């Protein structure tokens, strides 16, 4: 998965507003601050805390 760099620079973690990094080995975005991992489905980040998992 590779998100558009413009999109990646704009989106932040909805829980703590930390920056999100793409995981190369899976379709997830992981927050650098709180450690929540958000799924990416069909190239669309699902930034809902209820759908995140703690890494």
**What is residue 9's predicted lDDT score, i.e. its pLDDT?**
86
Q: Which helix (H) or strand (E) holds 9?
A: helix 5-10
Q: How far apart are CA 12 and CA 32, in angstroms?
A: 10
**What is residue 26's predicted lDDT score, i.e. its pLDDT?**
84
Comparison of pLDDT for 5 and 1, the residue scoring more: 5
Question: pTM value?
Answer: 0.87
Question: Where in the chain are the domains?
Answer: 5-54
**What is residue 1's predicted lDDT score, i.e. its pLDDT?**
65
**Residue 48, both tokens:** 């809902």
CATH number of 5-54: 2.20.25.10
| pLDDT tens per residue, range 4-46 | 888 888 999 999 999 999 987 889 999 999 999 999 998 889 9
């Amino acid at each position: 998965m590779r998100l558009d760099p413009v999109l990646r620079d704009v989106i932040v973690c909805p829980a703590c507003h930390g920056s999100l990094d793409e995981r190369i080995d899976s379709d997830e975005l992981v927050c650098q601050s709180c450690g929540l991992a958000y799924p990416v489905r069909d190239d669309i980040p699902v930034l809902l805390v209820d759908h995140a998992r703690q890494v």
